[in-house]
Structure 1
Amino acid sequence: MTIKVGDPIPQTNFVKATPDGPQPIDSESFFKGRKVALFSVPGAFTPTCSARHLPGFVDKADQIKAKGVDEIACTAVNDAFVLNAWSESAGAQGKVTMLADGNGDFAKAVGLRMDASKYGMGQRGQRFSMLVDDGIVKELNVEEPGAFDVSSADHMIAQL
């Protein structure tokens, strides 16, 4: 079942790259007591994700945070090392927190997986964004396959 506005974020774990190596991040703790703008991309270093999705949130990070968002986070079904390298190459460090969903557990738990096997990518997370306030989904923007519109930073800003 797909998550919807008003639902709590399900209990899963992400992995975040740190100077001490990959560290598990409990979803309940991560979202508790704060407002988070989360977006999901099908994969780091992929065309739309690298040219438009992540750069939009990097470029608009100050605007988003000025509207009361405590943290901007990106998730993808990639490992923490890949997401960290992508963050460094995109100038996202300090602006967007990368949350690796390496096994796709979060994408599965929120009901937003997609099968990209025909592209050699296996099971991935769909392209979406959500505003989460104290662990509760307040806005949910799921893209149609191949589209990039409602999950953008500009769309998120309009919702804040």
Structure 2
Amino acid sequence: MSSLRNDNSSSEGEMPCPETKPKFRPLNCDDEDKKKFPYVEVCGPDKSSRRFALGTRASFAVDRFNKKLVDAVKPVVCVEAFKEGEDPIEFGPDAPLMSMCTWNLRVVQEAPFQPIGVGDKIPNGELTYLDGCGKLQTHLIYDLVREKRVVFFGVPGAFTPTCSLKHVPGFIERAAEILDRGINEIVCITVNDPFVVKEWEKTYPENKHVRFLCDGSAIWTKKIGLELDLYDRGMGVRSRRYSLMICDTVVRIANIEEGGGLETSTASRMLKDLNTGKDMVLPP
């Protein structure tokens, strides 16, 4: 006589199949407080508030506020919690937004750095590159320029036409002449990752004197006030075209392009300024 068998049981070696799909229990919304979607309010630049889901990354909120600012002189840089009588607490880019009792949230705005000029001391920062073994290395700006005379020239991006065909070749061709004027080093700085720049550098086999260094996130470029907004072209934040002669951390020559052309930041212009002693004159 055969034994009774449950239709849902499995034979030996087979995995049992569930009868039905798992059911999700709905939220209990009997309590009025539980019907409210959890959110935080952040006071924006125009003093009106914007709601974000509780736990939203602070950088997302910053980006949303900045998208509403048209030609803003003072962009939003972070979100902070504030309370009367207490020092404000800033949220880092990846910190989740939250609100506590009598603390409120608001945005913080800061004016961008002014473009660096003659007589200014350059800020310190880090530039990166790949060494001969393909390992990522870092250079401190001050290690490059302290007690030296160095020429920096900045370009919007690797492999772009004007940078690749005119700006960089000009400095490579005239590098020996520039070094003969008492310059210790010539550095090309671009807002790209070091892997791209390493490949770009290989396209100049004749180069002997120009170093290629990267400011991948434009952090140092922003510090000297020479960032270039190319979001509308899908290129994000890049660098304005410029050339600087720096003597022991102080700018002695500053040739900065106003538009997208290449006129004042060329190697020929730098050489001319060095020949005429422009680097020896500082503003009063």
Query: Where do 5+ consecutive residues of structure 1 fail to align?
Result: none
In 1, the alpha carbon distance for the partners of 2:194 and 2:130 equals 5
Give % identity: 37
- Secondary structure, aligned partner of 1:132: strand
In 2, the alpha carbon distance for the partners of 1:140 and 1:92 equals 27
In 1, the alpha carbon distance for the partners of 2:187 and 2:198 equals 12
Length, aligned pairs only: 160
Partner residue, 1:146: 260
In 2, the alpha carbon distance for the partners of 1:99 and 1:159 equals 24
Q: What's the RMSD between the two structures over aligned residues?
A: 1.1
The answer on 1:115 being equivalent to 2:199 is: no
Amino acid at match of 1:35: R
24-33 or 53-62, which moves further after superposition?
24-33
Amino acid at match of 2:246: V
Amino acid at match of 2:210: V
Query: Where do 5+ consecutive residues of structure 2 fail to align?
Result: 1-113, 275-284
Partner residue, 2:124: 11
Partner residue, 2:143: 29
Comparing both structures, which one devotes a greater share of its residues to helix? 1
Partner residue, 1:51: 165
Q: Using a 3 Å threshold, how does the CA distance of structure 1 residues 92 and 83 change in structure 2: closer, same or farther?
A: farther
- Give the deviation of 1:72 after TM superposition: 0.5
Do the aligned partners of 1:77 and 1:104 also contact (CA within 8 Å) in 2?
yes
Q: Does 1 or 2 have the higher relative contact order (CA < 8 Å, sep 6+)?
A: 1
In 2, the alpha carbon distance for the partners of 1:55 and 1:105 equals 26
- Give the deviation of 1:93 after TM superposition: 4.4
- Secondary structure, aligned partner of 2:179: helix
- Secondary structure, aligned partner of 1:16: strand
Do the aligned partners of 2:127 and 2:213 also contact (CA within 8 Å) in 1?
yes
Partner residue of 1:105 out of 214, 219, 231:
219
- Secondary structure, aligned partner of 1:28: helix
In 1, the alpha carbon distance for the partners of 2:205 and 2:230 equals 27
Partner residue, 1:90: 204
- Secondary structure, aligned partner of 1:90: coil
TM-score normalised to the size of structure 1?
0.96
- Secondary structure, aligned partner of 1:24: strand
Amino acid at match of 1:141: N
- Secondary structure, aligned partner of 1:147: coil
